[in-house]
């Protein structure tokens, strides 16, 4: 699948509940969570090791922005991968 051959981390998130619907291989490897494990988690749990959405922690949330505006949203977040970097 082309999706899994892209080297950038890509994750598809349900905008209603922040649940990860799909992630590419790069994302899975970066965060050390098996794809099936990702599907049972919220994006902020995997990428920020947090128990609440980014916007509730004072950060921008592109998922929320896209859902509210109906437009593509982007922001810069610093995520620590499995190695802590």
Share the mean pLDDT of the chain.
87
CA 58 to chain CA centroid, nearest Å: 17
How does residue 37 score in pLDDT terms, banded at 50, 70 and 90? confident
- Residue 75's CB is within 10 A of a number of other CB atoms, namely 10
C-beta separation of 75 from 60 below 8 A: yes
User: In the chain, what are the domain boundaries?
Assistant: 2-69
68 against 78, higher pLDDT: 68
Against a cut of 0.75, is the pTM above it? yes
Of 1-5, 19-23, 33-37, 51-55, give the lowest mean pLDDT range: 1-5
The contacts of residue 57 (CB under 8 Å, 6+ apart) are 44, 48, 50
């Amino acid at each position: 699948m082309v999706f899994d051959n892209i080297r950038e981390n890509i994750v598809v998130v349900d905008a209603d509940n922040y649940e990860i619907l799909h992630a590419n291989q790069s994302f899975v490897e970066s965060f050390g969570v098996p794809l099936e494990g990702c599907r049972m988690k919220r994006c902020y749990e995997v990428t920020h090791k947090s128990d609440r959405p980014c916007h509730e922690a004072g950060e921008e949330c592109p998922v929320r922005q896209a859902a509210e505006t109906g437009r593509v949203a982007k922001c810069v977040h610093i995520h620590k991968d499995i190695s802590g970097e």
